Amino acid sequence: MTFSSIPFLFYFLPIFLVLYAVSPAKNIALLCASLVFYAWGEPGHILFLILSLVVNHVLARAIARKKDNTLLFLGISLNLAGLGWFKYAGLIAETAGGFFGGADIFAQPHLPLGISFYTFQAISLLIDVRRKDAAAPENFIETALYISMFPQLIAGPIVRYKEIEEQLRGRTHSADKFASGARLFILGLAQKTLLANNVAGIADAAFDAPAEAALTVGAAWVGLAAYSFQIFFDFAGYSNMAVGMGRMFGFELPRNFNFPYAAQSITEFWRRWHMTLSRWFRDYLYIPLGGNRHGAAKTYRNLWMVFLLCGLWHGAAWTFVLWGAWHGAFLVMERAFLGRWLTALPRILRHLYLPLVVALGWIPFRADSFAGAKNYYAALFGRDAGEYPTALSDIAPEGFGYIFALCAVTAFWPLIREAVTALPKPTLPPRIVSGRGAFLISQVQLVILFILCAAMLAGGAYNPFIYFRF
């Protein structure tokens, strides 16, 4: 069950909102709903999630009492062992089989939904308690709700315990906060269903084109642009829905995206893209490795290690490691010399550099293999498509330019807004520009957006969720 589904929007969420509103024990109600939500989509691994909640609660309390690094090491090891088994056992077996010329040792176990996200949250809890950055949870309900709260359980944002510690023990509920959360949820839903879903088919058709029917140059670039929009609006839309629902329940969850394609460098991009993951790797890996405190060579090494592991975190395939290496290479180059070159360029060129580098990096992220990535790069840069090519008309419907334009305006909105503010302002009737008039207009827009989203979902529109496989 995804957030952008009819059962969730019209059954699970409304029913739970009513029960939550009347419940005197809101944390227990939210925890029960979270476990039901997870069991609905992943019944085979609900016991593993509950075991993780119990083990991490016991360890967090024990670490707080004994202040023992041995217990911290045990907790981190147990969490990573679970993640490693479910996510990387197949990759290790496949790699070993390739080295030794044999078949895979065993098949990849089924990956539990959200394990990458809730494992990182559990590890951050144990580390923060040991560092005394946060107090240990007072009871099991707090631990379990922190790790498994359903708005952010499946695909983040990755929340630090100290960020919601006080909110778990007492938070405010108000009509204004609920309305703000509902507004953000609808905007995220629109990003997912109206933007990401409408370009997903183009991206899939381009990347899944058979090797014998190679893409033309135009089709390859349009497919790459489609995937760049899809992954952004898919994940940013989910994050906005998660943060919006958190507000509806009284929580302020951390923001996860800040118009990353409007950045001017890869360094800035990672301050805007999946910000909670970037902070997690910074605080729990990059800084403990030494950060930038021990000279340029070790700084570059640390950046590479972080982004190789960041790639591996995203998926159990060497193509993801290549994606991490791509970003690590540009981060190192920007720190070494490229950053100075970029600052000397006109701003428009920096804004062209960033989306181009990021888009080229998405190819190994999306491709199924190194060979597939190689073929896609070849198509981008003019490889002969052969006698029966996959042309633009084969992957994109007529009028796709309209949805691309809407995606571009939304993705680059800070730049668009900056340009618009420099234009002469039209004179509007006072009733329209007044607070009441603007409020009514915004509410009507939200209602229309929700109706459009519901209509698309009810019509059975293509509705994948990329980050569920991570």
pLDDT along the chain (470 residues), means of 10: 88 94 94 94 90 96 90 96 89 70 63 92 96 92 96 90 91 92 95 94 91 84 96 95 95 95 96 96 94 90 94 92 96 95 94 96 94 91 74 88 95 89 65 60 85 87 68
Q: What is the pLDDT of residue 98?
A: 63
Here the tokens at position 165 are: 């510690």
Q: What is the pLDDT of residue 463?
A: 74
Phi-psi region of 399 (alpha: psi -120 to 50; beta: other; left: phi over 0): left
What global pTM score does this model have?
0.92
Angle formed at CA 342 by CA 323 and CA 421, multiple of 5 degrees: 100
Buried b (16+ CB within 10 A) or exposed e, 427-446: eeeeeeeeeeeeeeeeeeeb
Angle formed at CA 8 by CA 5 and CA 11, multiple of 5 degrees: 125
Q: What is the pLDDT of residue 442?
A: 76
Tens digits of per-residue pLDDT, 41-99?
A: 888 899 999 999 999 999 999 999 988 899 999 999 999 999 999 988 878 777 776 66
Q: What is the pLDDT of residue 431?
A: 55
3-state helix, strand, coil in the chain (%, to 5): 75, 0, 25
Cα–chain-centroid distance for residue 379? 28
Report the chain's terminal Cα–Cα distance, integer Å: 16
> What gap in Å lies between CA 328 and CA 465, rounded to an integer?
26
Q: What is the pLDDT of residue 109?
A: 78
Here the tokens at position 365 are: 């992220």
Here the tokens at position 307 are: 């982004």
> What gap in Å lies between CA 228 and CA 209, rounded to an integer?
17
DSSP state of 285: I
Here the tokens at position 264 are: 């001017």
List active site positions: 314
Q: Is there a cis peptide before residue 157, judged by omega within 30 degrees of 0?
A: yes
Each domain of the chain, given as residue ranges in start order, spans 6-171, 178-458
Residue 452, class by beta-carbon neighbours within 10 Å (0-12 exposed, 13-18 middle, 19+ buried)?
Answer: middle
Which DSSP string do the residues of 201-222 spell out, in sequence order? HHHHHHHT--TTSPBPHHHHHH
